[in-house]
Amino acid sequence: MNEFVWHDHCEDDLILPANGNEYVLKAQNLSMNLMQQSVKADGSLSFLVIGDWGRKGQYNQSDVAFQMGEIGEKLNIDLVISTGDNFYEDGLTGVNDPAFHGSFTNIYKAPSLQKTWYNVLGNHDYRGDVEAQLSPVLREKDERWFCLKSYVLDAEIVEFFFIDTTPFVDDYFTNPKEHTYDWKGVLPREKYLNDLLKDLDLALSRSTAKWKMVIGHHTIKSAGHHGIIIELADQLVPILKEHNVDFYINGHDHCLERIGSIDSNLEFLTSGGGSKAWRGDLKGWNPTELKFYYDGQGFVSVELNQKEAEFVYYDVFGHVLHKFSVSKDSCVARQ
């Protein structure tokens, strides 16, 4: 499995080798860690996407995990992506919080799931000790675990851009209600967000990967409970479109979903059905854009090669709910 190290910002605009399979992208006092992931011998890649899961096996989390193990074995997956809200209700209390084993290690036990899990943070994770989830100590406890606030994963035919979306949402700062958020490393907020957007813009501009996928916790387009997160729609979407990103993949809404774009090839995919679901919580959406919506638990599988990406949505029983493929050469999606 890949190892990571921590890097300080520097003023140079270049890519420097770091340690093992990792490089760090440094530019204009900004930095974004760049990990490398090996692919199969034929150059293809397969993985699962799960979000909003950490409930110590409750709310069908264990059942979803079982089906992930089955599909993971069938596809011989290379990695797992988590779209955040990794530990409910309030993240981890520290690196020794038993919830880490109770909601992660002891749940996703299938042999096929013993691959690196690339995680982003969700809003519930920010209600606990954020540094705990970022700490190398967790990786010592379970070597599958990998989490940074924002980073790039280079898997040859695809680059994944993991983005810390929670600090974008105004309500968490202006109307936190009874919740307390761990903003260490985020304040001053304006600088943090500006730096993050510049990092993303630079990383995307340098990408030569066949496929580009951006991973964040929060919805940008959704027919579910949270709908449009306007801060992300305003600040993030223009960058995604400018650099021809293929997919934005998120959690946050506890459902499975696929929404297209009228004015670009960018698609918005939700995989937030890792445990507790919100049955019947569906808002209206333009039927021209809304391709699929399911208000229950489940996950998504992805198979990629140079020419095609295939996505399959599964429910808690492992039944196929929806699948589609996109041809890279023609940029045509097929049901």
Average pLDDT over residues 199-211: 96
State yes or no: 8 annotated in a binding site.
Answer: no
Q: Is 322 annotated as a binding residue?
A: no
Q: Which of 61, 47, 103, 57 is nearest to 273 (CA)?
A: 61
Does the annotation list 252 as a binding residue?
yes
**Integer Cα distance of 234 and 135 in angstroms:** 32
- Does the model's pTM come out above 0.85? yes
Q: How confident is the model at residue 328 (pLDDT cuts 50, 70, 90)?
A: confident
**Tokens at 305, concatenated:** 């090669």
Give the length of the chain: 335
Options 226, 243, 319, 322, the catalytic residue:
226
pLDDT tens per residue, range 87-104: 999 999 999 999 999 999
Span 48-85, pLDDT tens digits = 999 999 999 999 999 999 999 999 999 999 999 999 99
- Residue 319 is among the residues annotated as catalytic for this protein: no
Please list, in sequence order, all residues whose beta carbon lies within 8 angstroms of the beta carbon of residue 96, skipping any fewer than 6 positions away.
Answer: none
pLDDT tens by residue, 29-49: 446 899 999 999 999 999 999
21 is in an annotated binding site: no
319 known ligand binder? no
